[in-house]
Amino acid sequence: MTVYAPASEAEAADVIRQAQAAHSPLALAGSGTKAGIGRPGNAGHCLTSLGLQGITLYEPSEMVIAARAGTRLVDVARVLAARGQRLTFEPPEPALLMGTDGEQTIGGIVAANWSGPRRIMAGACRDSLIGVRFVNGRGEIVKSGGRVMKNVTGLDFVKLLAGSWGTLGFLTEVTFKVLPVPEAEITLALAGLDDRRGVAALCDAMGSPYGVSGAAHLPEGWHDGGQPQPALTLLRLEGSAFSVRHRVAALGERLAPFGGHSLLEGDDSRLVWSRVRDAAPVAEPRERAVWRISAAPARGPDIVAAVKAQREAIHFYDWSGGLVWLSTPAGEDAGEKAVRAAVAQHGGHATLMRAPVEVRAAVSVFQPQPEPLARLSRELKRAFDPEGVLEPGRMTAGV
């Protein structure tokens, strides 16, 4: 496979125009840390953003940062941390789940709409994204959004590109709003609850006025370092030290009917949330398939029960029960029939995050769309990429 690493937007546009003229499909990549997500493609060439690196704008007082798409996330995070700021949406580190090496890029995070536990408070990656530059499948350079949060001019392609997995355009620059790093964080941990009681506690806490920024339930037997652990229901609060202490105490009183609690502070809190963020409880064994299921929080346990009635599974809950991580044996359809049936019955959508190539080629990796929405997706693809040269078939067969 030929790999193109353009050093400018103009070079990237030239590569795409040549591919369009030759009807030659292109795989798009940053560092390739999430290359195993999606249907396998048949591209003979790869266009990578690794030649497009560097922060192009940082205004700490305006809480805005822009970087070329191939810039490593760790470099962006380091610059922000030096000024006491951070990205709002807590992007996961894919190495543990996907078994990949390398440092993920800021453009790859946008292409995947890659969002972690803080999504319940701060929103997803796309909610912090205020501007993009990209090259579409015609080889045209497009700018959407801006470098200030008040910019609303033009067509809003910003939200459309986030989560499009490279199928609509090759990202060259992204701009985010950022927020200060809070002074303190404390996690309130309830022990021993079953799934329904655990999710009920999460939902109760999310309905409180105490500003919960993380809400996860790890069922009994979840693994950490190879050892089975007792059930934990985790609620994170962040802010000034005085405020966090006050809110944690009040939340503990509110949740007293669910049993006693303990507190995780500082590094202990950050460690457990890094495990939740990176889907550690379902990352092993490596040979299993992994599903990511979004649903109404209260329906998470129903979906798990429906899947487990048909197939063995390991699971845990994030986003107050609204995000179910579930691993199944990878053989046959990796549990697709069971997962799709459960989602159809209880609502939501499911993405196959990890599975062998032959399984990903045979099943619907992303949630199948109703025909009106599928038709709109096909029309968007034709508008952005009329010859279908950008990641054809990665999200949907034939598109």
Report the sign of the C-alpha dihedral through residues 324, 329, 331, 335, in that order.
Answer: negative
Q: What is residue 146's predicted lDDT score, i.e. its pLDDT? A: 76
The helix (run of H) or strand (run of E) holding residue 59 is strand 55-59
Q: What is residue 225's predicted lDDT score, i.e. its pLDDT? A: 66
pTM score, whole prediction: 0.95
Provide the mean pLDDT of the chain: 95
* 386 found inside a domain: no
Q: What is residue 155's predicted lDDT score, i.e. its pLDDT? A: 64
Q: Average pLDDT for residues 285-304, to the nearest whole number?
A: 96
The region of weakest confidence among 122-131, 227-236, 241-250 is 227-236
- d(C-alpha 121, C-alpha 152), whole Å: 23
Residues 149-198: tens digit of each pLDDT: 555 555 678 999 999 999 999 999 999 999 999 999 999 999 999 999 99
Residues 98-126: tens digit of each pLDDT: 999 889 999 999 999 999 999 999 999 99
Burial of 190 (0-12, 13-18, 19+ CB in 10 A): buried
9 shares a domain with 88: yes
Q: Give the confidence band of 147 by pLDDT, cuts at 50, 70, 90.
A: low
Looking at residue 314, which CATH number applies to its domain? Answer: 3.30.70.1710
269 shares a domain with 195: yes
103 shares a domain with 10: yes
Do residues 342 and 295 make contact, with C-beta atoms less than 8 angstroms apart?
no
Q: Average pLDDT for residues 263-284, to the nearest whole number?
A: 96
* 357 found inside a domain: yes
* 399 found inside a domain: no
| 269 phi/psi in degrees, rounded to 5 | -65, -45
Q: What is residue 296's predicted lDDT score, i.e. its pLDDT? A: 97
Whole-number percent of the chain with pLDDT over 70: 97
Q: How are the residues of the chain apportioned to helix, strand and coil, as percentages rounded to the nearest 5? A: 35, 25, 40
Burial of 125 (0-12, 13-18, 19+ CB in 10 A): buried
256 shares a domain with 192: yes
* 384 found inside a domain: no
- d(C-alpha 61, C-alpha 262), whole Å: 37
* Maximum distance among all Cα pairs of the chain, rounded to whole angstroms: 66
147 shares a domain with 29: yes
Q: Give the confidence band of 229 by pLDDT, cuts at 50, 70, 90.
A: confident
162 shares a domain with 45: yes
Place of tokens 């996860």: 216
Q: What is residue 224's predicted lDDT score, i.e. its pLDDT? A: 72
Please say which residue of 246, 277, 308 terminates a domain.
277
318 shares a domain with 202: no
Q: What is residue 85's predicted lDDT score, i.e. its pLDDT? A: 98
In order of 91, 220, 398, the CA distances from 39 in angstroms are 22, 33, 11
78 shares a domain with 169: yes
243 shares a domain with 112: no
Residues 13-48: tens digit of each pLDDT: 999 999 999 999 999 999 999 999 999 988 989 999
* 378 found inside a domain: no
Please say which residue of 256, 277, 298 terminates a domain.
277
Cβ neighbours around 260 below 10 Å, total: 11
Whole-number percent of the chain with pLDDT over 90: 91
Compute CA 113 distance to the chain's CA centroid, rounded to the nearest angstrom: 5
Please say which residue of 277, 312, 347 terminates a domain.
277
Pairing between β-strand 323-328 and β-strand 314-318 as defined by DSSP bridges:
antiparallel
Q: What is residue 153's predicted lDDT score, i.e. its pLDDT? A: 55
The single-letter code of the amino acid at 371 is E
- d(C-alpha 391, C-alpha 170), whole Å: 10
Looking at residue 232, which CATH number applies to its domain? Answer: 3.30.70.2190
Q: Which domain holds residue 305?
A: 280-362
Q: Which of 290, 300, 294 is nearest to 348 (CA)?
A: 294
Residues 323-378: tens digit of each pLDDT: 999 999 999 999 999 999 999 999 999 999 999 999 999 999 999 999 999 999 99
Domain tally, the chain? 3
| 280 phi/psi in degrees, rounded to 5 | -60, -35
144 shares a domain with 53: yes
48 shares a domain with 176: yes
* 168 found inside a domain: yes
Looking at residue 7, which CATH number applies to its domain? Answer: 3.30.465.10
* 396 found inside a domain: no
pLDDT exceeds 80 at position 148: no
* 231 found inside a domain: yes
Q: What is residue 1's predicted lDDT score, i.e. its pLDDT? A: 81
The single-letter code of the amino acid at 223 is H
Q: What is residue 156's predicted lDDT score, i.e. its pLDDT? A: 78
316 shares a domain with 216: no
